[in-house]
């Protein structure tokens, strides 16, 4: 058991029979009375997001998660298939559970799958992913003085803002945490 004051972004815990990962954490101390802890967390089994407020001093059950290195293989409808690189098992996760991570999945990509009691419940993407630009409007000379950007569509369908010098066919690096352009590769 851990105190709710120890919850931070990324911490995983069990509460009322569900497994949650903290997305946002806020400690609120009023002038009089006790502190409260407000969190936004994602249910790792269903993908639903909840907002919850706990009085300071409450406790939740911490859990141990298993991690395995996997390779993304393919998706069919809303089921995404991975292959464990040690055991060659093929765990599957739904698009609801993966959330925005589906925008970064490329075939043969290596990443981590998170399991609880032998069942896969989430994935951990690398911090950055290199992707090819499949569509963008042309940039014009002279427009770069203001640091202007344009929208580019990537090979997975993700749309990001890129500098005007990025063209179709370029490989760019994208931050998976913020879906932001990092650099041209």
Where is average pLDDT lowest: 22-31, 93-102, 140-149, 159-168? 140-149
Backbone angle region of 147, left / alpha / beta, with phi > 0 → left and psi within -120 to 50 → alpha: left
Both tokens of residue 7? 């919850």
Would you state the pLDDT for residue 142?
Answer: 61
Could you tell me whether strands 171-175 and 159-163 are parallel, antiparallel, or unpaired per DSSP bridges?
unpaired
Q: What is the pTM of this model?
A: 0.73
Predicted confidence band of residue 143 (pLDDT cuts 50, 70, 90): low
DSSP labels for 130-181?
A: EEEEEEEPPP-TTGGGGT-EEEEEETTS-EEEEETT--TT-EEEEETTTTEE
Domains and CATH numbers, the chain: 2-62 (2.30.30.30), 66-124 (2.40.50.140), 128-184 (2.40.50.140)
């Amino acid at each position: 058991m851990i105190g709710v004051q120890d919850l931070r972004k990324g911490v995983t815990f069990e509460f009322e029979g569900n497994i949650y990962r903290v997305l946002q954490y806020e400690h609120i101390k009023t002038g009089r009375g006790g502190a409260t802890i407000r969190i936004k967390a994602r249910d790792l089994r269903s993908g639903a997001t909840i907002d919850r407020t706990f009085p300071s001093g409450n406790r939740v059950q911490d859990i141990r998660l298993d991690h395995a290195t996997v390779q993304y293989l393919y998706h069919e409808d809303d089921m995404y298939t991975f292959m464990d690189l040690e055991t060659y098992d093929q765990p599957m996760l739904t698009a609801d559970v993966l959330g925005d991570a589906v925008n970064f999945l490329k075939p043969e990509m290596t990443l981590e799958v998170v399991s609880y009691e032998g069942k896969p419940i989430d994935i951990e993407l690398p911090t950055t992913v290199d992707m090819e630009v499949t569509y963008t409007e042309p940039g014009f000379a002279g427009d770069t003085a203001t640091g202007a950007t344009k929208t580019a569509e990537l090979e997975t369908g993700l749309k990001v803002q890129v500098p005007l010098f990025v063209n179709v066919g370029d490989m760019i690096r994208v931050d998976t945490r913020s879906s932001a352009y990092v650099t041209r590769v």
